[in-house]
Amino acid sequence: MRQMTPIASVLPGATPYKDGNVTDTWLGQLFVGKGKPPVHAILKDLPPKELANELFGAALATALGLPVPPYFIAAATSSVLPVRKGPSRGSYKFMFATERQGTPPLKRHWTGTRIPQRLIDALARWPGNGTAFAFDTWVANVDRNLGNILFGGGTDIWLIDHGQCLTGPNWVAKNLNPSESYKNKLALWFCPYLDKPRTSVLIAACSAMPTHVKALDLTAIAQASRALDLLTESDGASMISFLRDRAPIVPHVGSRQASPYGLF
């Protein structure tokens, strides 16, 4: 049986956090159980569908072996935080929370207009880069920007911010098209700097994605993530159907996006 996403209480004292983020965000601590130390976390106030994206996206990435910081549903009363967008139950409102890793995002590693080749090389050496690229293609994450990959050097890499999965936080079920070539931002700022052997790694990962997805119980993962608790029954079914039907086209779409200059 899959482990359910933990629900934790936000402790008093959280402070607003701004680092280019457009959502209301705080740095705070979570109470995760008697006798356990509090968890230092980033807390985001999100509407239900975007919260569902975050939870399901993080759960799917974890199921594929990608590095995702521990994540929680954080419950806060109005006396602790002014949560406005999140769903509520009784006196509590719910937020998305991830444990702080102390690792900065890629965008913090330089100043200028062009990503340094040393960072491209570091990502190209990361064993998970192909799976990450194929994952974003599969889940239609349209915003894997330089702020939502944490990079501390070497293999100290984490993927965060999954709210832009399923084409965006305000997706409409009838508009989800499994065959569509949705934007993959890694294809814009990462792939153009790769040579043919490194590009081959991404393409091979895309080719393997249908097999990996077939081995996943998407409904069980969605239930355990608690994403289905935030969606209508129809939207939940459409989300799962979209991902199941999209898996077979990942090799085609991913290979085309990974080699924008016709390397293949």
The per-residue pLDDT for 19 is 78
Average pLDDT, the chain: 94
Question: Using CA atoms, how far apart are residues 25 and 19, in angstroms rounded to an integer?
Answer: 9
Each residue's pLDDT tens digit, 204-221: 999 999 999 999 999 999
Each residue's pLDDT tens digit, 69-106: 999 999 999 999 999 999 999 999 999 999 999 899 99
Strand 88-89 versus strand 92-99 pairing type: antiparallel
35: tokens are 């006798």
Architecture of 106-258 per CATH?
A: Orthogonal Bundle (1.10)
Task: Check pLDDT > 80 for residue 262.
Answer: no
The per-residue pLDDT for 264 is 44
Each residue's pLDDT tens digit, 100-119: 998 999 988 877 777 888 88
pLDDT above 70: percentage of residues in the chain: 98
Task: Check pLDDT > 50 for residue 187.
Answer: yes
- Terminus-to-terminus CA distance in the chain, angstroms? 42
